[in-house]
C-alpha cells in the first residue's frame, strides 16, 4: 500500500523540505501548495511502510503497524528534529493507534493510553491512563479518540467521559463539535451548533450528546467531521451531509462559490469585450430567468449523490473540504481548494464532487482517505479500477 498527499505543505507534511526532492521536474518539497497527488516522502525512508495516517493543520502522524509498530511525525518542528516534535519514535514503540492535533499527540498501547504535549520537551506524557488488556481480543481495544469510558479531546480537560449506554463505536472531533457513531448505527452530536453542524435542524449548541433524529432508523457505518460540517455513510453506502457549506464542502450549491466564479467570468468577458452594447451584465429576456437555490447552512442531514453508479465506502473531512472513496476504488473530492487539497491540478474550489483522475490514469485503486485541515492523504494499491 502506498500513500499520496496533496494540499497544504508549508511544514513538509507531504514532502519533507529538501532541495534534492524533485518530482517530474518540480521542486515539490518546497511547494506550499501541492495541487496534484504526490507520493509521501521523509528522511527516514519509512513512508512505504505506513499503515495509517492521522493529520492536523501543521503535522502528519504516520502509523507503522507492521512488525515493529511505531509512530513518525512529519511537519511543524519535525523537519529540524530527530524526534517527533518532542516525542521520540522509541516512546511510541508498540502503539496500536494514534491521533494528533496542534497541541497533543495521543498514543494507544495494549495496556495504556498516553497523551504528549507537543510544546513540552520533557520526556513524560501530559496525561495517561491504564487499560485492562484483553487476551485474544477479536478487535482493537480502543479506537482513538475513543478510550475506555470516554474520549480524548483536543484541549484540556483531555479526558471527557461518555455514558456507557451510548455503546460508542467511533468518534470524530470537529473544530468545536463532535459526532459519535453507536454500535447500533445511531448518530449523536454535541458541541457548537452555530453552522448547523449538529444536524438537529437549528443553530443551537448542545452540551450533551443528542441523537440526530433525521437519521433515526437508518443505521450508519462511518462518521466524519470537518471544521463546521459533518458527514456519515449509511450501511447501504449512501452519503449524508450537513452543516456549513460556505466553500461547497457539503457538495451542495454554494452561493459564495458561484458568485466568485461569475465575477471572474465577468471580468474576463469585460476585458475581451470591445462593444459596450454587449455588456456581460445585460439582463436576460423574459422567461429566461432561472432562480437557483443556494445553500449556506444545511441544518438537517441531506442525501448527497456523489456518483450514481457507486456506493461510498469511507469518507473524511478537512476544515472546509470533503473526500470520499467509492467501493470501486475511486476518490472524489469537493469544497475549498485554495491549497490544492482537492487534487485536481488546480487551486479552484468546487461545490460538486469530482473524481481525482490521477489515480484512475495510474491504474491505482484508492482504499482509504484521510483529510488534514488543509490537505488530503490517500492510500492506494496498484490495481485497475473496473468502474467507469
Q: Per-residue confidence at 384, pLDDT binned at 50, 70, 90?
A: low
pLDDT in tens, 287-313: 445 567 899 999 999 999 998 888 999
- Asked if the model's pLDDT at residue 122 lies above 80, the reply is no
Segment 81-104 shows an average pLDDT of: 80
Provide the edge-to-edge strand list for the sheet that holds 350-355: 312-317, 321-326, 331-335, 350-355
How many C-beta atoms lie closer than 10 Å to residue 315's C-beta?
22
- Asked if the model's pLDDT at residue 44 lies above 70, the reply is no
The percent of residues in the chain predicted with pLDDT above 90, rounded, is 70
Radius of gyration of the chain (CA): 22
Q: Which helix (H) or strand (E) holds 347?
A: none
How many C-beta atoms lie closer than 10 Å to residue 48's C-beta?
11
CA-to-CA distance for 299 and 233, rounded, in angstroms? 17
Work out the mean pLDDT of the chain and round it to a whole number: 87
pLDDT given at position 250: 98
- Contact criterion met (CB below 8 Å) for 8 and 32: yes
pLDDT given at position 279: 41
Segment 129-153 shows an average pLDDT of: 81
Q: What is the reported pTM?
A: 0.88
Kindly report the three-state secondary structure assignment for every residue of 20-49. CCCECCECHHHCCEEEEEEECECCCCCHHH
CA-to-CA distance for 227 and 198, rounded, in angstroms? 12
DSSP conformational letter for 90: G
Q: Per-residue confidence at 20, pLDDT binned at 50, 70, 90?
A: very low
- Asked if the model's pLDDT at residue 138 lies above 60, the reply is no
For residue 343 the three cell numbers come to 487534487
Segment 279-292 shows an average pLDDT of: 51
Of 108, 76, 105, the residue nearest 94 (C-alpha): 108
Segment 12-20 shows an average pLDDT of: 70
pLDDT given at position 43: 55
Q: Per-residue confidence at 272, pLDDT binned at 50, 70, 90?
A: low
Provide the edge-to-edge strand list for the sheet that holds 104-108: 97-100, 104-108, 112-117, 127-130
Query: 171 - beta bridge partners?
Result: 180
- Contact criterion met (CB below 8 Å) for 227 and 316: no
Of 81, 105, 110, the residue nearest 95 (C-alpha): 110
Of 232, 235, 226, the residue nearest 211 (C-alpha): 232
CA-to-CA distance for 10 and 1, rounded, in angstroms? 25
pLDDT in tens, 200-255: 999 999 999 999 999 999 999 999 999 999 999 999 999 999 999 999 999 999 99
Segment 78-106 shows an average pLDDT of: 79
pLDDT given at position 142: 83
CA-to-CA distance for 5 and 388, rounded, in angstroms? 24
Range ranked top by mean pLDDT from 14-28, 119-133, 259-273 = 119-133
Segment 148-164 shows an average pLDDT of: 96
Provide the edge-to-edge strand list for the sheet that holds 159-161: 146-147, 150-152, 159-161
CB-facing half-sphere around the CA of 347: CA atoms within 13 A: 6
For residue 31 the three cell numbers come to 511547494
- Asked if the model's pLDDT at residue 145 lies above 80, the reply is yes
Q: Which residues of 119-129 are buried (b: 16+ CB within 10 A; e: fewer)?
A: eeeeeebbbee
- Contact criterion met (CB below 8 Å) for 53 and 377: yes
pLDDT in tens, 158-174: 999 999 999 999 999 99
Amino acid at each position: 500500500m502506498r500513500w499520496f498527499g496533496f494540499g497544504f505543505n508549508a511544514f513538509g507534511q507531504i514532502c519533507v523540505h529538501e532541495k534534492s526532492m524533485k518530482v517530474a521536474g518540480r521542486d515539490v518539497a518546497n511547494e506550499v501548495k501541492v495541487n496534484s497527488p504526490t507520493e509521501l516522502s521523509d528522511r527516514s525512508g519509512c513512508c512505504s511502510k505506513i499503515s495509517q495516517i492521522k493529520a492536523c493543520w501543521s503535522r502528519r502522524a504516520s502509523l507503522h503497524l507492521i512488525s515493529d509498530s511505531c509512530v513518525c511525525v512529519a511537519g511543524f518542528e519535525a523537519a529540524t528534529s530527530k524526534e517527533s516534535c518532542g516525542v521520540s519514535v522509541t516512546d511510541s514503540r508498540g502503539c496500536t493507534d494514534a491521533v494528533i492535533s496542534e497541541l497533543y499527540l495521543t498514543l494507544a498501547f495494549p495496556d495504556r493510553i498516553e497523551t504528549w504535549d507537543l510544546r513540552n520537551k520533557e520526556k513524560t506524557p501530559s496525561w495517561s491512563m491504564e487499560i485492562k488488556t484483553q487476551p485474544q481480543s477479536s478487535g482493537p481495544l480502543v479506537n482513538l479518540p475513543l478510550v475506555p469510558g470516554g474520549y480524548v479531546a483536543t484541549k484540556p480537560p483531555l479526558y471527557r467521559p461518555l455514558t456507557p449506554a451510548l455503546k460508542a463505536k467511533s468518534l470524530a472531533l470537529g473544530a468545536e463539535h463532535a459526532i459519535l457513531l453507536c454500535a447500533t448505527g445511531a448518530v449523536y452530536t454535541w458541541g457548537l451548533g452555530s453552522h448547523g453542524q449538529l444536524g438537529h435542524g437549528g443553530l443551537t449548541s448542545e452540551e450533551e450528546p443528542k441523537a440526530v433524529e433525521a437519521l433515526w432508523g437508518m443505521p450508519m457505518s462511518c462518521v466524519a467531521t470537518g471544521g463546521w460540517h459533518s458527514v456519515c455513510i449509511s450501511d447501504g453506502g449512501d452519503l449524508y451531509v450537513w452543516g456549513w457549506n460556505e466553500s461547497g464542502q457539503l457538495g451542495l450549491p454554494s452561493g459564495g462559490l458561484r458568485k466568485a466564479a461569475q465575477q471572474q467570468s465577468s471580468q474576463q468577458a469585460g476585458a475581451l469585450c470591445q462593444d459596450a452594447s454587449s455588456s456581460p451584465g445585460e439582463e436576460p429576456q423574459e422567461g429566461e430567468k432561472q432562480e437557483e437555490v443556494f445553500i449556506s447552512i444545511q441544518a438537517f442531514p441531506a442525501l448527497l449523490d456523489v456518483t450514481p453508479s457507486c456506493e461510498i465506502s469511507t469518507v473524511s473531512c478537512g476544515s472546509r473540504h470533503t473526500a470520499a472513496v467509492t467501493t470501486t476504488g475511486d476518490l472524489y473530492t469537493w469544497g475549498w481548494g485554495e491549497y490544492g487539497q482537492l487534487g485536481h491540478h488546480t487551486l479552484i474550489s468546487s461545490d460538486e464532487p469530482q473524481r481525482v483522475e490521477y489515480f484512475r490514469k495510474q491504474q491505482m485503486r484508492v482504499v482509504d482517505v484521510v483529510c488534514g485541515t488543509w490537505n488530503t492523504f490517500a492510500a492506494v494499491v496498484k490495481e485497475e479500477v473496473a468502474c467507469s
